[in-house]
Amino acid sequence: MARPLVFALARLPAEIERDLEARYEVVRDIEAAGEAEIALTAGNLGLSSDQMAQLPRLRLIAVNGVGVDAVDLVEARRHRIAVTTTPDVLSLAVAELALGLALSCARRVADGDRFIRLGHWAQGDSFTLGRSILNRRAGILGYGRIGRRLADLLRGMGMEVLYSARSEKPDAVDSYRPDAATLARDCDVLFVTAAGGADTRHLVDAQVLRELGSDGFLVNVARGPVVDGDALATALSDGTIAGAGLYVFDDEPHVPQALLDAPNCVLTPHIASATGDARRAMAQLVLDNIAAFVAGKPLPTPYTG
């Protein structure tokens, strides 16, 4: 019996990749994937309507990640193509990086590294004071799995946590704010964890940044377009906010020069889930979703947004 055909745009960790190839016929050229019922992709790669048109038998899009803004969901629904993601297993890794970016901004960790490497410390130069954030208020914009995991970490460190979401959550232990501007006004560090897509594009705009204020820090671990990049660059330059930590951008891997030039902005590549544990767990969940589809069983983590 022929093995199921999988069109793979993304690669998995080596040991899981071997398992994938042992179970399925894996092709990476879409020209050879016309009979594939399964597409394996990543959040940043997605699957376009043009690609779907070349896969007439497609019935499952398995995303290695939680972002689906690069998947044409309208086209997928129209053709009754199921979409799965890998929620929960990367929540701690993303929350951990968000916390690291906040601390690096406030305590000027990246600045201190450059200060030493350029010889300024040895020359007796003085280093500007940083700021403590652990005795201040954190605001979480987007109160899904990642936002709640981050809230747990922040509360554990003694911070008061506020949040904003589409609606107030009855089971939340944190304080609700009805919109991004109000949340920014009432917090000192604004963590952006909202889902990407048209509904949240530029959710953090110039007004929100003004409300955050000159002592406030912004950390974006959502999607680049959730924050208005031009407004952020201006806010960093003119002191509207104190600093920002970013690992997502509008046009990755291209980062605007204004952000590269901003000394009060800490940047990393798109690495929030880039730990061995998280990546293996994500890849295993991709395999579990594919296996369930092939067996005709319920999908473990279907995307239902």
Just list the catalytic residues. 223, 252, 270
CB atoms within 10 A of CB 135: 10
Q: Which long-range contacts (CB under 8 A, 24 or more apart) does 85-90 make?
A: 85/43, 85/301, 85/303, 86/281, 86/282, 86/285, 86/286, 86/301, 87/145, 87/301, 88/145, 89/278, 89/281, 89/282, 89/285, 90/65, 90/66, 90/146, 90/272, 90/273, 90/278, 90/281, 90/282
- Separation between Cα atoms, residue 267 and residue 233, nearest integer Å: 13
Question: Is there a contact between 152 and 140 (Cβ–Cβ < 8 Å)?
Answer: no
Question: What are the backbone dihedrals phi and psi of residue 82, each rounded to the nearest 5 degrees, phi first?
Answer: -70, 145
Cα–Cα separations (whole angstroms), residue 15 to 20, 75, 101: 9, 33, 31
Cβ-based neighbour number of residue 164 at 10 Å: 25
DSSP code, position 191? E
